[in-house]
Amino acid sequence: MSKRIHRYAAPEAQVEQGRLRSDLERIANWVEPGSRVLDLGCGDGSLLAYLRDHKDVDGVGVEVDDERVIASVRQGVHVIQQNLEEGLALFDDQQFDTVVLSQTLQAMLHTEHILSEMARVAKHGIVSFPNFGYWPHGFSILRGRMPVTGQMPYQWYDTPNIHLCTLRDFENLAASMNLRITHRVAFNGAREIGFLPGWRSTLAVYRFASPHGVR
């Protein structure tokens, strides 16, 4: 099986001192109790394990990395080992209530395709990605260097991030694909950013409604 895609661009562990990362906590808050959830690039399965234990969610993960698949299985998470670039053909239309793609969108070769597939298999999609519009990034580029920050800690030559974007970039793409954004939150580290999020946040998290699902 191909392992061409990395996992992925997020350096932080999914669990910090016994609790989910702040962005994953917000994602969990957007998931309805008792619903069906697909987590793409599920890592060690921490989000799905949390949703199972706290919200009685019926969850499935997709992960390509061997060690992370094993870690998910150890947490009792149902996980399928597959490269996301190969698509979601295993899943039926509207099979899930929510599909999650956490800190992975920027590493996908075919951004529109994975978003389209998310909208096909679930009523709602949740995506998060590093915000390239964060103001220190602009200063790095003015100095002639690609940005290296906590959210994007890689050098230009070894980064898995191939499709970086700003908040407005994603919102424009979502609108062009008829993905109706229902929620947005921006973070700088663990802190939520309300004022000028396009400039001051390092990470954006969006929830959207599928044009194929119930509005």
End-to-end Cα separation, the chain, in angstroms: 37
Distance CA 197, CA 55 (A): 30
List of domains in the chain? 15-209 (3.40.50.150)
Distance CA 115, CA 119 (A): 6
Residues in the chain: 215
CA angle 101, 105, 110 (to 5 degrees): 120
Q: What is the pLDDT along the chain (215 residues), one digit of tens a residue?
A: 333 333 343 434 465 545 788 999 999 999 999 999 999 999 999 999 999 999 999 999 999 999 999 999 999 999 999 999 888 999 999 999 999 999 999 888 899 999 999 999 999 999 999 998 776 666 566 666 555 666 656 555 555 556 788 999 999 999 999 999 999 999 999 999 999 999 999 999 999 999 986 54
DSSP the chain: ----S-S-S--S-SEETTEE-HHHHHHHHTSPTT-EEEEET-TTSHHHHHHHHHH--EEEEEE--HHHHHHHHHTT--EEE--GGG-STTS-TT-EEEEEEES-GGG-S-HHHHHHHHHHHEEEEEEEEEBTT-HHHHHHHHTTS----SSS---TTT-S--S-B-HHHHHHHHHHTT-EEEEEEEEETTEE--SSHHHH-SEEEEEEE-TTS--
